[in-house]
């Protein structure tokens, strides 16, 4: 967070708070010293709320898709454990 604003100050200077969020990033708004809200730019909001591909689509479009990995698993039922 770049800056923290008390609610009264944020209300009085809303235009500045909005412009600062757009230029510098999220702005905290506090009530009695506790963070009550965070104002973010529309661009940041879009990034947070855009739909994301499901896991299968993510893996299929991975740059590593199709890479032949030689993975082996220890077939024994237990493994030594160091404490």
Does residue 78 lie within any of the structural domains? no
pLDDT surpasses 80 at 18: yes
- For the record, the structure tokens of 2 come out as 């770049």
What does the pLDDT read at residue 48? 93
Q: What is the pLDDT of residues 52-62, one digit of tens each?
A: 888 888 888 88
Each residue's pLDDT tens digit, 25-66: 999 999 999 999 999 999 999 999 998 888 888 888 888 888
**Average pLDDT, integer, range 10-26:** 96
φ and ψ of 62, to 5 deg: -70, 145
- DSSP character for 22? H
CA-wise closest residue to 36 among 58, 63, 11: 11
Q: Is 27 a member of any domain?
A: yes
- In this prediction the pTM is 0.61
Look at the chain and report how many structural domains it folds into.
1
CATH of residue 23? 3.40.1620.10
63 in any annotated domain:
no
In a domain, 42, yes or no: yes
Quote the domain boundaries for residue 15.
Answer: 3-49
């Amino acid at each position: 967070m770049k800056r923290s604003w008390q609610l009264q100050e944020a209300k009085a200077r809303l235009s500045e708070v909005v412009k600062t969020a757009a230029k510098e990033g999220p702005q905290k708004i506090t009530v009695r010293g506790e963070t009550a809200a965070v104002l973010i730019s529309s661009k940041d909001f879009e990034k947070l709320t855009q739909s994301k591909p499901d896991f299968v689509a993510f893996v299929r479009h991975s740059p590593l898709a199709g890479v032949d990995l030689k993975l082996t698993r220890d077939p024994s039922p237990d493994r030594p454990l160091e404490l």
